[in-house]
Structure 1
């Protein structure tokens, strides 16, 4: 183990890794040192071998056991269960209900990652981490999302197969990564509950897919976004992501970030 003794008289650059990770809530400095000895910490993808390693918390990327660590404590990550009737913008020019009501209690200026259309409810991420927001909402990123849709009519096994086999829409071929029938309701106006998993960010793609197979959507909720699950969070409520959720989200973004992700690319609307 290289102790990385600093030459006498030279001003050290950066902050000791142990101090940074302790401040980030990973573990105590002594435990972090043990992690280094065990080869469990990487900086910018390279395993750390020196106990005296210093880093720049603003630019260096650190992971422990392959999970990204949030070093910038000024960044906030919030999960919102967006209710229907709310547009996914911070200020709607037409005066419709927007996301400001859900961000006013946070000191930071938060923005939404991607969008859900006004009549779709469910999981929406709010953050002041602009870089992460642009990466996750970039059209080429393809983060996996899970939706539950209530549709008109009785969905058959053949319909489920068609959704996963795929078909052409006006803007190209599309297929669900997974599809399954959750429930059906008989009677004069039968309906079905369908779960769709897909990574496309095309405009209103879930509604268009189900309409194409003959089952228009009457209700739609996004239950999952990448590693994040809506769980029991009630409609109209928000909560900060846990440390584990933040790590999973940052790990996803760092590993699969599209090279051409730039601000203004977030076009997703479901």
Structure 2
């Protein structure tokens, strides 16, 4: 039990309202109001004592159910990975890799999961190993949204097949959601929402229903959206985005899974 949970104001640590203010949640006075109103939890327990102290290096804090980043050494970056770049910080075959996009940050960042060289879109870069494990591990099933340009005219029946389920060589698979965005005689745009971590799953699904992928972009990863970020550009997550990402990671981490399984790749 932390000092905050026990209400022990003599314990070492920092005052909760000071930590919240330092994390940019609100001014210290407003943070005190949040605490009194029961809107702040420490390690899952509501704390209402203004004298409560916590250890920012060990305790987990959330406000109104949204996680608060207390460790300022952790960096969270979103990249719009262009095609032709491999999802690696150092490619042993000399191909273009992710190092060119991380030069402006002093921390040693690494990618969460992978995108194929031929696939563009949202890729998360971080130095937070615990969060990366939760987000990339297939067993946690974080939702991803893709836009696929495919060959041929996709019909409503094909969309229904994608959500109902199709058979692949490594077992059946179904999209959480599928939506036809545009269709012509030669090309169609399909939006697929998946939580699967199986390799090249979008390409294999679309090929199985007779519409090979021509171009593929990942537009969303969990609570993060690519938005208008240009290809080849990276930016730090906003405070709101960090909170949403950490909240998701903490929620998913409730189901402990041993490391070692392969990361998702598309």
Tell me the TM-score normalised to structure 2 length.
0.95
Per the alignment, residue 249 of structure 2 pairs with 253
Query: Which residue in 2 is equivalent to 1:120?
Result: 119
- Partner of residue 194, structure 2: 198
Change (3 A) 1:232 1:6: closer
Match of 1:230 in 2: 226
- 1:212/1:135 CA distance change after superposition, 3 Å: same
SS in 2 for 1:220: strand
> CA 1:42 to 1:6, structure 2 compared with 1: closer, same or farther past 3 Å?
closer
How far, CA to CA, are the matches of 2:62 and 2:81 in structure 1?
A: 31
**Match among 187, 209, 212 for residue 216 of structure 1:** 212
**Matched residue SS, 2:154:** coil
- 2:37·2:48 contact (CA, 8 Å) conserved in 1? no
Structure 2 alignment gaps of length 5 or more: none
Distance (Å, rounded) in 2 between the aligned partners of 1:156 and 1:260:
39
Q: Does 1:152 align with 2:148?
A: no
2:224 matches 1:239: no
Q: Cα offset for 1:266?
A: 4.8
C-alpha separation between the residues in 1 aligned to 2:16 and 2:109? 29
Q: CA RMSD in A?
A: 1.5
Unaligned runs of 5+ in 1: none
* Pair 119,145 (structure 1): closer, same or farther in 2 beyond 3 Å: same
Asked whether the equivalents of residues 84 and 119 of structure 1 are also in contact (C-alpha less than 8 Å), the reply is yes
- Aligned position for 1:46: 45
Count of aligned pairs between the two proteins: 261
Structure 1's 89 and 6: CA in aligned 2 closer, same or farther, altered over 3 A? Answer: closer
Q: d(CA) in 1 for partners of 2:55 and 2:160?
A: 51
Tell whether the 8 Å contact from 1:80 to 1:238 is kept in structure 2 after alignment: yes
TM-score (norm 1): 0.94
CA distance in 1 between counterparts of 2:88 and 2:9 reads 50
- Counterpart CA distance in 2 for 1:54 and 1:6 is 6
1:139-194, Cα deviation, whole Å (9 max, x unpaired): 101001100000000001110000000021111110000101111133xxx01000
The 8 Å contact of residues 146 and 225 in structure 1, kept in 2 or not, is answered as: yes
